Structure 1
Amino acid sequence: MNQESLRVIDKSNYYDVLCHFDQHITDALDRFDGQKSNLSGLSKSRAGFRNILICGMGGSAIAGDFIKNVWTEVLGLPIQVCRDYHIPRWVNKESLVIACSYSGNTEETIAALHEAMEAQAQILTIATGGKVQSIATQHGLSHITIQGGLQPRQAIGYALTTLHAVFSEIFKSASVREEMSHIVFQMKHLATILKTIHDNNPYIHDSKILHDKPVIIYASERMFPAALRLKGQITENAKLLAFGYAVPEMNHNEIVGWESVHEAHHAPCHVILLRDREDHPQVQKRFEILMRLLKGKAHWTEYTSDGGTLMERYYNLIYRGDWLSYYMAIARNTDPTPVDIITRLKNELAS
């Protein structure tokens, strides 16, 4: 793997997008600061919110998963992510509904948005434009516009940072600026390591091992959004099947399936473990026992989050996982950017 092979395979220069991840975060914050007055009505209503629903698909929904885990602990309010055309029946005028669509044209999110309006919920929309922004303008809904020009999955820095800033502003929590400055610093430092095209790069090394079989990703419930993100990145970038499951739940069922696997050489998949220092002590113990029980049945790769706050550790795993999936695509001689089968599916839905 070298710069020449990247130029040949990576025709849309996904490499450059990854290199500028820290700039996506700072740009998202700057753009939000210029629009946060759009949230004044929601900020006044915050005391009346009884629950929060984040509607979105793909990267927008995964950003919601990270937000759910972080802000549920802060607010003590139920937060749910909706990946569907229909919203839960409990949504009402005391609900805050945030409809996120990078393109602004995601049909599931638009359908959910209409149902939220019918339920008389308090609503915020986040998009680059499209039908979602048009609906927000037509109905006088609060709206935040984010930067366009990327593949939706490439815009996780914009989606997650904007959502995090939205919650901080509406609920008058501590400013996210200091926390995000730490994250930006960490992403810049990581980039110097991860963008280096050399066999000493640990993610290039790991990609050469992981690229030839489907991947199963195990994580705690706390880190499960990072597992979903990595699963999506491997499938879309490397065009390789990947699956994500949570510990301890998999200990109660899926672990039995490993009895049919006797040698790593014959294993139908590779395994990635995503771990965090704040995983429940019993979950940490379960990981250790799991690795002992399954020793020799598959190749295992383990990544532990790094950072101070939970959100810092989430960004850390997001960025490392994005680079891993990128190098897996290159190792498979696959252009990471196109997602032709998704385009075909959408075209058939529209016909």
Structure 2
Amino acid sequence: MIDLDDISGYERLDPSGLNRRLHDLPAQCDQAWREAKNTDIPDGWRQCTEVIVAGMGGSAIAGNLAADLIDPLSGTSIRVVRDFSIPGISANSRQLVVACSFSGETEETISMFNHAQSVGVSMVAIVGGGTMSRLATNAGIPIMTVDAPGEPRSAVGCNLMLLSSLLNSIGAISLTDANVAAAVAAAESMVSQVGVEVPTETNPAKQLAKDLQGGLSVVYGGGSLSGMALRWKSQINENGKSWAFAEVLPELFHNSVESFPASPEIKQRTTALLLRPHQTTPELGKRYDVIAETLNGFGIKNRTFTGVSGGGLAQSLAMVVLGDHVTYYMGLLNENNPSETPSIDLSKKRLSGQDRSF
């Protein structure tokens, strides 16, 4: 098994330097926030009551994270759609569709883009180039450019900050430059605690990766960390090359808890990861307490990770950094290149008819 404190292992299994991209996420966020200010926002968008983020995979997750930044009393809601079409949209509505694609070639996202355009709903594209960028340009649809190296999931900081700037401009959320600076500082602080140069004995991300190796991870999130559960789950899949599932509080009390007594052979290999906001309502806080007690009562391993103090964006960015490093180390421990996604690539070839080996 790889020694996470031996740099030669990183050079062998991570030739593209994903660890450097993880390290640079705070700077990526700062740059994207600054560049987003150059986007002209039509006045009419400030009256929208629903923002629909259309995308897939690493490009869509920013929508879930941004939704967690919305004040419950806000007059604007966020909906994330991962599909071929977008239900419930109409022309002359107060809706705004944000089509997100890192490559600009994602089949499902292009399909949703075309659907939204045919309906005549207000649109903006957050895209790195490719076909969707050309379609948006030709249609006169505003573009916010994703400028980040590597794989789509590594551009989460750029995507989130572009989307947050847009939401801030239309009044859906409230962010200041000072808020963003504090959030970037929180992310930098987390990098300093979990980066590759920090030895395992003082590195919580390396320690957790070792604990999770070879097992099943179930990620629980609620409140302002609801979307974060899905981010951690997908990163355990993609970076860590491991099985994981995500659940949301309080919903899991109405179904998932019923499985806790069953299947001892699964329970002994399962770890529940509770992502708890720094501040919760009394109702949600009680449910975090009770779910931990319930897991303990049934002998299911569990760990709680509480968000950092400060605003919602600071909590989100710091938790992204922690989860990304944990899953990166999981991939290395599994003797895999954490950047590559061969099974996703194979699936895309089969869907396109290029591979008929099955």
Category of TM-score, reference length = shorter chain = over 0.9
The match for 1:341 is 343
Per the alignment, residue 64 of structure 1 pairs with 63
Kindly report which structure 2 residues correspond to 1:144-155, keeping only aligned pairs within 5 A, or say none: 144-155=144-155
* CA-CA distance at 1:262 after TM superposition: 5.1
Residue number among 33, 36, 39 corresponding to 2:39 in the alignment: 36
Distance in 2, Cα, partners of 1:15 & 1:47: 39
* Residues 240-273 of structure 1, C-alpha deviations (whole Å, 9 max, x = no match): 0100011221112111111125589x62311111
Q: Distance in 1 between matches of 2:265 and 2:290?
A: 18
What is the one-letter code of the residue matched to 1:231?
Answer: K
2:103 is matched with which residue?
A: 103
State the TM-score, normalized to the length of structure 2: 0.90
Query: 1:234 aligns to what?
Result: 236
The code of the aligned residue for 1:126 comes to I
- Give the gaps of 5 or more residues in structure 2: 354-358
Gaps of 5+ in 1: none
How far the C-alpha of 1:31 sits from its partner, in A, is 2.5
Q: Is the 8 A contact 1:326 1:336 kept in 2?
A: yes
User: SS of the residue aligned with 2:206?
Assistant: helix
Query: 8 Å contact 1:126–1:143 — kept in the other structure?
Result: yes
Q: C-alpha separation between the residues in 2 aligned to 1:176 and 1:74?
A: 19
Q: 1:188 to 1:50 in 2, by over 3 A?
A: closer
Give the secondary structure class of the aligned counterpart of 1:98.
Answer: strand
Structure 2 CA distance for aligned equivalents of residues 74 and 58 of structure 1: 28
Percentage of identical aligned residues? 25
Tell me if the contact between 1:213 and 1:269 (Cα under 8 Å) persists in the aligned partners. Answer: yes
Residue 173 to residue 18, structure 1, CA distance change in 2 (3 Å): closer
Post-superposition offset of 1:72 = 5.4
Quote the Cα distance in structure 2 between the aligned partners of 1:77 and 1:183: 23
> Structure 1 pair 127/183, CA: closer, same or farther in 2 (3 Å)?
same
Q: Secondary structure at the match of 1:260?
A: coil
1:113–1:278 CA distance, 2 compared to 1 (3 A): same
Runs of 4+ in 1 over 6 A off after TM superposition: none
Rounded Cα–Cα distance in structure 2 between residues aligned with 1:278 and 1:186: 16
Q: What is the deviation of 1:298? A: 2.2
CA distance in 2 between partners of 1:63 and 1:173 (Å): 14
**Contact (CA 8 Å) 1:329, 1:335: kept in 2 or not?**
yes
Matches within 5 A, 1:261-276: 261=263, 267-276=268-277
Cross-structure match for 2:159? 159
The answer to whether the 8 A contact 1:31-1:146 is kept is no
Change in CA separation of 1:318 and 1:74 when aligned onto 2, cut-off 3 Å: farther
- Cα distance in 2 for partners of 1:263, 1:56 equals 37
Q: TM-score, normalising length from structure 1?
A: 0.92
**Which residue of structure 1 lines up, in the alignment, with residue 356 of structure 2?**
none
- What's the counterpart of residue 21 of structure 1? 25
Q: Is the 8 A contact 1:165 1:176 kept in 2?
A: no
Q: Is the 8 A contact 2:193 2:203 kept in 1?
A: yes
Q: Distance in 2 between matches of 1:154 and 1:217?
A: 20
Q: How far, CA to CA, are the matches of 2:337 and 2:291 in structure 1?
A: 35
Deviation string 1:252-305 (CA, Å, 9 cap, x unpaired) is: 2111111125589x6231111110133232222222222223226222121001
- Give the RMSD, CA atoms, in angstroms: 2.0
- Could you say which residue in structure 1 is the equivalent of 2:189? 189
In the superposition, relative to structure 1, how do residues 197 and 78 fare at CA in structure 2: closer, same or farther (>3 Å)?
Answer: closer
**Aligned-partner residue type, residue 102 of structure 2:** Y
CA contact (8 A) 2:28 2:158 kept: yes
Match of 1:319 in 2: 321
Deviates more, 1:85-94 or 1:120-129: 85-94
**Count of matched residue pairs:** 345
In the alignment, is the contact (CA less than 8 A) between 1:93 and 1:119 conserved in 2? no
Distance 1:51 1:72, change over 3 A: farther
| Secondary structure in 2 matching 1:308 | coil
Contact 2:53 2:98 in 1 (8 A): yes
Name the structure 1 match of 2:225. Answer: 223
